[in-house]
Amino acid sequence: MTIHQLLNIGTSKLKSKSTSPALDAEVLLSYVLKKSKEYLYINPKKYLVHTQVRTYLKLINKRVQGWPVADLTNQKEFYGLKFYVDKNVLIPRPETEGLVEHVLEHIKNMSGLKILDIGTGSGNIIISIARRNVPKNVPTKQSIIRSPRPDKSGLAMGNKFFASDVSSKTLIVAKKNTKRHKVKITFKQGDLLNPWKNKHFDIIVANLPYLAQETDPSTKFEPQNALIAEKKGLALYEKLFRQLSSPLYPHPSTLFLEIGYKQAQQIKKLAKKFLPASETKIYKDLSDRDRYAIISL
């Protein structure tokens, strides 16, 4: 079979199962051939060997069953970077790029910061922040210094990055992505702030499970504990606020959270309950839904 014929077969099979059947077919065939999508367009009449055809059709059938493309290719693009993903991590969502944007906007004129990502998953958030955070003419927290010289990885010298997750298997994925993107991040395993007792951070960012239940059938192939939380999706954020109210966990200056679009008021109430001096601002995602909470402490 030719590339053109296989793309037609794949697209046809996926029409009733995917919102982007042609794109999915192209991505999967590119993955099998280890070629770019442009290669497919340039060589539509190229015949493929039997093993390539068989592998491709197996992937198409899995996609028909509901498997996410990212799980089939072990790769997902996020904030312009390609991340390795597998069954142990949640596939990065486009709306989470907005959380990264808010952090980068906040720290663009700062240096000498310690930034922590809780529940890091694939590491997509903290790695994206580290790769993009190259400030110019930046003040430290104590005084004005000369612009930090970026190192070879593009990171701003002076800022330090940390991340943790409750799952050891998840941290293997995050460390793999750290190596891929050549960033320096200190990892620890543990629940929320437990691994970081008595350690101060300037910024804490978290995209914790915030769904009360999941109805999207495609997520059945992803770790449910990375999606769903008790107490109507608020259990982990309540636990985080409770920890921050303890002297064991020094307050960061700012907390950045991704939340469910109906949780803004509950998040504000929880923050005030456990952190009375805090101020919470809610920001919307590109779909005009409440999605990000920025809490000043």
Which domain covers residue 142, as residue numbers? 73-296
Quick: pLDDT tens for 202-260: 999 999 976 676 555 656 665 666 555 566 778 899 999 999 999 999 888 999 999 99
The CATH number covering residue 232 comes to 3.40.50.150
Q: How confident is the model over 8-25, as a mean pLDDT? A: 95
Cα dihedral 118, 123, 129, 130 sign: positive
Instruction: Let me know whether 193 and 267 are in one domain.
Output: yes
Q: How confident is the model over 94-103, as a mean pLDDT? A: 97
Instruction: Let me know whether 222 and 271 are in one domain.
Output: yes
Cα–Cα distance between 271 and 204 in angstroms, integer?
14
Q: Write down the pTM of the prediction.
A: 0.85
Q: How confident is the model over 79-86, as a mean pLDDT? A: 96
Instruction: Let me know whether 52 and 126 are in one domain.
Output: no
Residue with tokens 């991040």: 185
Q: How confident is the model over 35-41, as a mean pLDDT? A: 94
Q: How confident is the model over 23-51, as a mean pLDDT? A: 96
Q: How many domains does the chain have?
A: 2
What is residue 133's predicted lDDT score, i.e. its pLDDT?
Answer: 72
Cα–Cα distance between 163 and 198 in angstroms, integer?
16
Give the least confident one: 173-177, 247-251, 273-277, 291-295.
247-251
Instruction: Let me know whether 130 and 16 are in one domain.
Output: no
Instruction: Let me know whether 126 and 47 are in one domain.
Output: no
Orientation angle between helical segments 50-64 and 21-33, nearest 10 degrees: 140
Instruction: Let me know whether 45 and 190 are in one domain.
Output: no
Instruction: Let me know whether 212 and 90 are in one domain.
Output: yes
Percent of the chain's residues with pLDDT above 70: 85
The CATH number covering residue 14 comes to 1.10.8
